[in-house]
């Protein structure tokens, strides 16, 4: 498959801080990919290097097969959408979108009528054709971001880069724009890469997700692969709430409390520490024992608003806290309340040794 963006061995330092260390990434043409990670993980630096707004200390950037590492940003044909829109406040919507077309070299510049047609084509695409005469201050946040996207698309870029595109918007508008962006991408099929720290946003919008941490890529995969099969403890803990349990592995068998999990990679190992991760929805909670794998606990907090009930528990010894989720009808059937004694067992867990190796 043709590559839309190719990142090869990119490294970048700011003084003594290693923002990126030997990063490699290939984004197939036409894909919508998310760069996800905490603040300081390097995702925005990588996006700016791809755009040409930062220069790498080492490595190369290829856009549609062309080495653009030393090509100036204005010649890369990259569309860039910023978090805070970066619209020209003194220009109407029409002129904001037309700006990139009007400043192109004379031999490449469209004529006046062609520019007008192109701008209104883009306004129809972003569903704002009636707002061409307004100024940015007269638009809502969501409308401004759509105008910023139309402006980025005006010059027919090779790739589209978006830096926290919905970060400045409230939750309801952000959700609406996420759905709109997916529909727009399905129509245009332009290679797109967007930065976000919002896990729900990345998993909901992107074809593929790249998890970054401390200037390196932890894992790349589809949203389902990333969420269901995290490759490292960091990915597991970063993607939503998770229960963490500690145990040991002996002769290929990890013992986590009363639970035993096969760990064939360590069949010759004795008494080595391991850590197990269980998502709240994968903890079964009952008012009675069913087998020997349950852990006795006490409910310390119960939040039953919404479709799922959230239950916070502590073990009988009070040494560990656990979180579980269950449907409201199940909670009513069990008739659970704060202070009740319950029995908890994992339905699914993933085990890592102290070096990050995986066991199932």
Write the DSSP assignment of 158-210 as a string of letters: SEEEEESTTTTS-HHHHHHHHHHHHHHHHHH--EEEEEES-HHHHHHH-SEEE
Q: Are 259 and 345 spatial neighbours (Cβ–Cβ below 8 Å)?
A: yes
13 beta partners = 18
pLDDT of residue 352: 87
- Is the confidence at residue 138, as pLDDT, over 60? yes
pLDDT of residue 269: 64
Tell me the mean pLDDT in the region 272-296: 87
Which of 26-35, 70-79, 262-271 bottoms out in mean pLDDT, i.e. has the lowest? 262-271
Euclidean distance between CA atoms 160 and 169, whole angstroms: 20
- All structural domains of the chain, each given as residue ranges with its CATH number in brackets, are 3-229 (3.40.50.300), 243-359 (2.40.50.100)
Which has more pLDDT, 96 or 269? Answer: 96
Tell me the mean pLDDT in the region 75-92: 89
Q: How confident is the model at residue 360 (pLDDT cuts 50, 70, 90)?
A: low
pLDDT of residue 319: 67
pLDDT of residue 250: 81
Reported as a single tens digit per residue, the pLDDT across 207-253 is 999 999 999 999 999 999 999 999 999 999 999 889 998 888 887 77
pLDDT of residue 318: 64
pLDDT of residue 267: 64
- The CB-based long-range contact list for 122-128 (8 Å cut-off, 24+ gap) reads 122/97, 122/150, 122/153, 122/154, 123/93, 123/94, 123/97, 123/150, 125/150, 125/153, 125/184, 125/187, 126/150, 126/184, 128/93
Reported as a single tens digit per residue, the pLDDT across 311-343 is 999 987 766 789 999 999 999 999 999 999 999
Q: How confident is the model at residue 162 (pLDDT cuts 50, 70, 90)?
A: very high
- Is the confidence at residue 195, as pLDDT, over 60? yes
DSSP type of residue 41: S
- Tokens representing 175 are 């959700």
pLDDT of residue 272: 84
Q: How confident is the model at residue 82 (pLDDT cuts 50, 70, 90)?
A: confident
Euclidean distance between CA atoms 299 and 297, whole angstroms: 7
Which has more pLDDT, 270 or 236? Answer: 236
Which of 52-66, 101-115, 194-208, 261-275 bottoms out in mean pLDDT, i.e. has the lowest? 261-275
Extract the runs of DSSP E, i.e. beta strands, from 197-334.
Answer: 208-213, 216-221, 243-250, 253-256, 259-262, 272-278, 283-286, 295-303, 308-315, 321-327
In 3D, which of 240, 218, 204 has the Cα closest to residue 42? 218
Q: Are 280 and 325 spatial neighbours (Cβ–Cβ below 8 Å)?
A: yes
Euclidean distance between CA atoms 266 and 285, whole angstroms: 31
CA distances (Å), origin 1, targets 4, 26, 167, 244, 327: 9, 11, 32, 39, 43
pLDDT of residue 248: 87
pLDDT of residue 359: 52
């Amino acid at each position: 498959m043709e590559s839309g963006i190719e990142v090869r061995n990119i490294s970048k330092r700011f003084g003594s801080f290693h923002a990126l260390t030997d990063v490699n990434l290939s984004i197939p043409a036409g894909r919508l990919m998310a760069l996800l990670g905490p603040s300081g993980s390097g995702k925005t630096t990588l996006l700016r290097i791809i755009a040409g707004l930062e220069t790498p200390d080492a490595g190369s950037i290829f856009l549609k097969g062309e080495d653009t590492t030393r090509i100036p940003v204005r010649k890369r044909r990259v569309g860039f959408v910023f978090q805070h829109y970066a619209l020209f406040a003194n220009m109407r919507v029409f002129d904001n979108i037309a700006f990139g077309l009007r400043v192109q070299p004379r031999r490449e510049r469209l004529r006046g009528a062609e520019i007008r047609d192109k701008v209104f084509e883009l306004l129809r695409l972003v569903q704002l054709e009636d707002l061409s005469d307004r100024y940015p201050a007269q638009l809502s946040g969501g409308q401004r971001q759509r105008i910023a996207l139309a402006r980025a698309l005006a010059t027919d870029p090779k790739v589209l880069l978006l830096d926290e595109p919905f970060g400045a918007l409230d939750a309801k508008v952000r959700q609406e724009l996420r759905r709109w962006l997916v529909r727009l991408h399905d129509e245009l099929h332009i290679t797109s890469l967007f930065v976000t720290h919002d896990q729900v946003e990345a998993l909901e919008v992107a074809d593929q997700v790249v998890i970054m941490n401390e200037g390196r890529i932890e894992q790349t995969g589809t949203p389902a692969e990333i969420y269901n099969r995290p490759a490292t403890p960091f990915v597991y803990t970063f993607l939503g709430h998770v229960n963490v349990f500690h145990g040991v592995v002996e002769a290929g068998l990890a013992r986590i409390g009363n639970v035993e999990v096969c760990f064939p990679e360590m069949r010759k190992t004795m008494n080595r520490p391991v850590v197990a991760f269980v998502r709240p929805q994968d903890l079964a909670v009952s008012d009675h024992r069913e087998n020997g794998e349950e852990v006795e606990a006490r409910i310390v907090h119960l939040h039953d608003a919404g479709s799922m009930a959230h239950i916070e528990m502590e073990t009988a010894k009070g040494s560990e806290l656990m979180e579980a989720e269950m449907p409201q009808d199940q909670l009513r059937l069990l008739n659970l309340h704060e202070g009740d004694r319950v029995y908890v067992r994992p339905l699914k867990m993933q085990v890592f040794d102290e070096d990050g190796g995986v066991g199932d």
